């Protein structure tokens, strides 16, 4: 009963977080955090109840990720810790200087924090804490097996398909709402229930390769026995055909989102899929089914009309110029807060002091997840996460390479890893992991890839 309840809560979070505008509002990501905490609480009860009944069951070892995550969380806590101003002056001279400028001549500054806005840093701390807890829970949860993984993939596939269909309906019907919000002035492309087209594209960049991996995992036996495309198509069952059609619709939704980097990342991910999903015993160097699926989506999009998408590519130079200005100013923030950053979650408040150009509205992110992370957590914080990413990527690749091409788990793991890389590539010029819905799915996919790669070894 506890196990079924945990799966139900995870599925509910996977459905709720993207539909609730990507969970960018404080009420939405607060519910996400509460849901994750409840899942971990149920898991703790389950572990206590099963401790004496199944003592020989081995679970993956996740010590190094836990250590690196703990150090990163301690860094964030240190940013919020009130410290003597003399110490702040040594550790972060720019923070001390800014604090002094904000004081009246008669005021004194006995204690202060490294974070420019400690309250915002606290909000981000709880986001990271719950997502890290969710990741470590999935690594240790003994019932996170292939059966559970496939169920959750179907939930993710269903949500991605709904987002694409809903976004296309709102765009082409002229209704132009996002749920209950009327967005006539903002909807110029397909965005699903996300406010931003690039956040929507980032979400689909993870869902599409994962769904392709699940589709290929269902057909791995026939693919291993025959290299003929006609035989593969005729051997598809109704469920596989439905999944393939759903993938075509999601690709269509991403293309019509007119996200330039999203489309480029999609083409990159399908390049990897066509190489990694091919039959190594066949003569073909590329996977023909994956090329066929992408071609069908491109032809369908061309038939509908890609004028808006193509026109956006002609404005790439202007958009890049604006991003380059933001990046230059972000580098100045990194220069002034090199080691420990200005405080995670404080970019919106710190950036106006460095902005060197005129822009309508407020710059809320650096148009680059990695640059913003360095500016907010410094080289130390970014270095910890980079080390963790490289370690997990190496272990995931080594684990997946040990699986035979005949094993269905291999395709799901490869699809998930390709989705991770596609999102990272997209994040070079966009904000993705800062969107809670994307961050939750990103966390789930990482845990899925690692558990698949080392299901037999029991070591991560």
pLDDT digits (tens, 9 = 90+) for 84-127: 888 888 888 888 888 777 764 555 667 888 998 999 999 999 99
User: 170: which DSSP letter?
Assistant: H
Compute the half-sphere exposure of residue 334: CA atoms within 13 Å on the CB side of its CA. 18
pLDDT at 224: 47
pLDDT at site 86: 85
Cα distance from N-terminal residue to C-terminal residue, the chain = 28
Which one-letter DSSP state was computed for residue 305?
A: -
CA-to-CA distance for 349 and 119, rounded, in angstroms?
Answer: 12
Instruction: Give the pLDDT mean for 76-80.
Output: 96
* pTM for this entry: 0.93
For 87, the token pair is 């110490």
Rounded to 10°, the helix 197-218/288-304 angle is 140
d(CA 249, CA 161): 7
Q: For residues 51-64, give the mean pLDDT.
A: 57
Of 393, 405, 15, 60, nearest to 213 (Cα)? 405
Can you give the C-alpha Rg of the chain in angstroms? Answer: 23
Q: What is the mean pLDDT of residues 133-148?
A: 92
What confidence score (pLDDT) does residue 55 get?
44
What pLDDT is recorded for position 314?
A: 66
Q: What is the pLDDT of residues 414-427, one digit of tens each?
A: 999 999 999 999 99
Which tokens is 394 given? 């190496």
For residues 89-109, b (16+ Cβ closer than 10 Å) or e, as one string?
beebebbbebbeeeeeeeeee
| pLDDT exceeds cutoff 80 at 444 | yes
pLDDT category, 22, cuts 50, 70, 90? very high
The answer, yes or no, to whether residue 459 has pLDDT greater than 60, is no
Residues in CB range of 165: below 8 A, 6 or more apart:
249, 253
Q: Give residue 269's pLDDT band: very low, low, confident or very high (50, 70, 90).
A: very high
Handedness of CA 53, 58, 64, 66 (dihedral sign): negative
Q: What is the pLDDT of residues 152-190, one digit of tens each?
A: 999 999 999 999 999 999 988 888 889 888 887 777 889
| Strand partners of residue 177 | 182
Place of tokens 């490289």: 390
Mean pLDDT (whole number) for 367-377: 95
218 pLDDT tier (thresholds 50, 70, 90): confident
- Residue 288 is predicted with a pLDDT of 86
């Amino acid at each position: 009963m506890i196990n079924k309840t945990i799966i139900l809560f995870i599925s509910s979070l996977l459905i709720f977080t993207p539909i609730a505008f990507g969970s960018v509002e404080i009420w939405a990501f607060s519910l996400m955090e509460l849901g994750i905490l409840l899942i971990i609480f149920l898991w703790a009860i389950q572990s206590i109840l099963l401790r004496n009944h199944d003592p020989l069951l081995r679970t993956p070892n996740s010590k190094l990720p836990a250590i690196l995550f703990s150090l990163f969380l301690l860094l964030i806590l240190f940013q919020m810790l009130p410290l003597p101003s003399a110490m702040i002056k040594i550790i972060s001279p720019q923070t001390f200087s800014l604090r002094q400028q904000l004081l009246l001549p008669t005021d004194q500054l006995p204690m202060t924090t490294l974070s420019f806005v400690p309250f915002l840093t606290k909000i981000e701390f709880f986001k990271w804490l719950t997502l890290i807890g969710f990741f470590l829970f999935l690594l240790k949860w003994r019932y996170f097996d292939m059966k559970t993984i496939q169920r959750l993939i179907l939930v993710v596939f269903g949500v991605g398909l709904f987002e694409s269909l809903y976004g296309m309906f709102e765009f082409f019907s002229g209704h132009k709402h996002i749920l209950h919000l009327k967005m006539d002035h903002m909807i110029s492309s397909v965005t699903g229930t996300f406010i931003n087209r690039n956040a929507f594209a980032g979400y689909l960049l993870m869902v599409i390769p994962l769904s392709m991996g699940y589709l290929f995992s269902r057909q791995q036996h026939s693919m291993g026995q025959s290299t003929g495309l006609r035989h593969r198509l005729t051997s598809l069952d109704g469920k596989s055909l439905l999944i393939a059609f759903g993938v075509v619709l999601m690709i269509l939704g991403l293309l019509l989102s007119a996200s330039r980097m999203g489309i480029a990342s999609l083409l990159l991910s399908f390049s990897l899929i066509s190489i990694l999903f091919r039959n190594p015993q066949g003569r073909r160097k590329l996977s023909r089914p994956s090329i066929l699926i992408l071609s069908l989506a491109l032809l369908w999009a061309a038939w509908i009309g890609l004028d808006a998408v193509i026109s956006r590519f002609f404005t790439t130079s202007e958009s890049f110029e604006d991003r380059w200005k933001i990046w230059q100013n972000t580098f100045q923030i990194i220069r002034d807060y090199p080691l420990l950053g200005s405080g995670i979650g404080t970019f919106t408040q710190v950036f106006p002091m460095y902005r060197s150009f005129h822009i309508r509205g407020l710059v809320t992110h650096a148009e680059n997840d990695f640059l913003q992370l360095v500016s907010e957590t410094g080289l130390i914080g970014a270095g910890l996460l980079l080390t963790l990413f490289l370690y997990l990527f190496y272990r995931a690749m080594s684990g997946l390479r040990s699986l035979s091409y005949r094993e269905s788990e291999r395709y799901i793991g490869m699809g998930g890893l390709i989705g991770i890389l596609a999102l990272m590539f997209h994040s070079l010029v966009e904000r993705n992991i800062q969107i809670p819905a994307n961050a939750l799915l990103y966390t789930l996919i990482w845990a899925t890839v690692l558990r698949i790669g080392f299901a037999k070894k029991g070591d991560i």
